């Protein structure tokens, strides 16, 4: 008896059960790609499909997708969990893995034995094969790799996988809110900025402004002025991710010009430099791949505290506060740099 490989050509060697969110490839396209990858040319056959395939895909976040793959025939069973940065990534990995199993389990089963010459009678205890089997040249066996222990989603168990790193992203942000502490009284605050996001870190530069607020002389009635702040802020952040929410924790450096405009006889304009150091905590909710609402709480301490005097009253008219707080609410736009890298799905 001679061991050889058989090529089993059927209308479809797979029975596919497909469960995926809208926007992912469908089961028919997956099946066609597997057959093309395995180099199987279908012919007419009314028999049952020898390979049962179950695919379940879920989106954990906009950059974290999981696919559970279960393959089974009469003699073998394989379960895998595949993780990638998009639905297309995990489907690509599932196509490669499934086509390998089609070749190993169907086209080249290790336990197929056929007579060396067609004239020899088959043993009575061996069932006859279907007449559409074709004898092909032997092919080298494929390494099946270590056994899989991952479980499908309905059994509630999964194993961690390493996510592939893609290129960074440019961030555009705008926000408005309230600020208190550096300028007189509570008032509005605005920002417009740009940044860069890497793997769990961020770097940003933003223009900041606080519209004019009125300040009164502490002792002289009717003496006062208007004060505003315009400057730029640099932030360096550690940015962990919890599902679709990014939680940047940042260190801040801000440099600005504090302007004072006198009132009445003191209607002159004076500028003075101001600088602050501090930190912030923010929450960025990625509702889509490109847009995310953002809320941030910032605290700054004054490194310099410029003051303004009045020509018509003794003493200091206004001095910048020792520090301040800001609450900002806005929107963030995320633009990926360069082509998106394919993530290599990891199996447990």
- 115, 126 in Cβ contact below 8 A? no
Confidence of residue 94 (pLDDT cuts 50, 70, 90): very high
Residue range(s) of every CATH 2.40.160.20 domain in the chain: 169-336
Beta-strand ranges (E) seen in the chain are 6-8, 14-19, 51-61, 64-72, 77-84, 133-135, 169-180, 187-197, 201-216, 224-238, 241-242, 245-246, 249-262, 269-285, 291-302, 307-310, 313-319, 323-336
- pLDDT given at position 35: 86
Reduce the DSSP state of residue 89 to 3 states and report it: helix
- pLDDT given at position 249: 96
- Give 118-142 as a 3 state SS string: CCCCCCCCCCCCCCCEEECCCCCCC
| pLDDT tens profile 225-266 | 788 899 999 999 999 988 889 999 999 999 999 888 877 655
Q: What is the mean pLDDT of residues 199-219?
A: 86
Axis crossing angle, helix 87-102 with helix 27-38, rounded to the nearest 10: 50
- pLDDT given at position 41: 62
| pLDDT tens profile 173-196 | 999 999 998 888 898 999 999 999
**CB atoms closer than 10 angstroms to residue 67:** 25
Topology annotation, domain 169-336: Porin (2.40.160)
What values do phi and psi take at 117, rounded to 5? -125, 140
Confidence of residue 338 (pLDDT cuts 50, 70, 90): low
Lowest-pLDDT range of 11-25, 70-84, 115-129: 115-129
* In the predicted structure, residue 152 carries a pLDDT above the cut 70: no
Confidence of residue 276 (pLDDT cuts 50, 70, 90): very high
* In the predicted structure, residue 335 carries a pLDDT above the cut 70: yes
Please give the C-alpha separations between residue 214 and each of 39, 181, 217, 263, 271, in angstroms, as whole numbers: 78, 14, 10, 10, 16
- pLDDT given at position 243: 83
Share of residues in the chain with pLDDT > 70 (%): 72
* In the predicted structure, residue 164 carries a pLDDT above the cut 50: no
């Amino acid at each position: 008896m001679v061991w050889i490989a058989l090529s089993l050509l059927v209308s479809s060697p797979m029975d596919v059960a497909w469960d995926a969110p809208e926007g992912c490839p469908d089961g028919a396209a997956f099946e066609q790609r597997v057959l093309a990858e395995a180099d199987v040319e279908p012919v007419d056959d009314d028999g049952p499909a020898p390979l049962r395939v179950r695919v379940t895909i879920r989106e954990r976040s906009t950059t974290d997708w999981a696919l559970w793959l279960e393959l089974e025939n009469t003699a073998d069973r394989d379960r895998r969990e595949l993780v990638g940065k998009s639905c297309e990534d995990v489907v690509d990995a599932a196509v490669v893995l499934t086509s390998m199993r089609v070749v190993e389990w169907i086209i080249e089963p290790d336990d197929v034995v056929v007579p060396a010459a067609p004239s020899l009678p088959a043993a009575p205890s061996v069932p006859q094969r279907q007449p559409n089997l074709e004898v092909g040249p032997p092919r080298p066996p494929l390494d099946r790799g270590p056994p899989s222990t991952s479980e499908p989603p309905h059994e509630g168990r999964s194993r961690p996988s390493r996510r592939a790193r893609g290129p960074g992203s440019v961030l555009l942000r705008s926000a408005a809110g309230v600020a208190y502490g550096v300028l007189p009284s509570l008032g509005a605050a605005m920002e417009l900025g740009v940044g860069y996001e890497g793997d769990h870190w961020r770097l940003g530069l933003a223009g900041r402004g606080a519209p004019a607020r009125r300040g009164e002389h502490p002792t002289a009635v009717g003496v006062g002025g208007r004060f505003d702040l315009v400057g730029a802020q640099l932030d360096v952040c550690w940015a962990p991710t919890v599902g679709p929410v990014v939680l940047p924790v940042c260190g801040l450096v801000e440099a600005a010009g504090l302007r004072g405009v006198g009132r009445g006889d003191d209607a002159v304009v004076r500028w003075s430099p101001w600088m602050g150091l501090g930190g912030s905590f923010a929450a960025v909710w990625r509702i889509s791949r490109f847009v995310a609402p953002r809320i941030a709480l910032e605290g700054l301490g004054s490194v310099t505290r410029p003051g303004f005097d009045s020509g018509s009253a003794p003493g200091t008219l206004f001095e910048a506060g020792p520090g301040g707080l800001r609450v900002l609410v806005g929107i963030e736009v995320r633009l990926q740099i360069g082509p998106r890298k394919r993530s290599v799905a990891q199996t447990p």
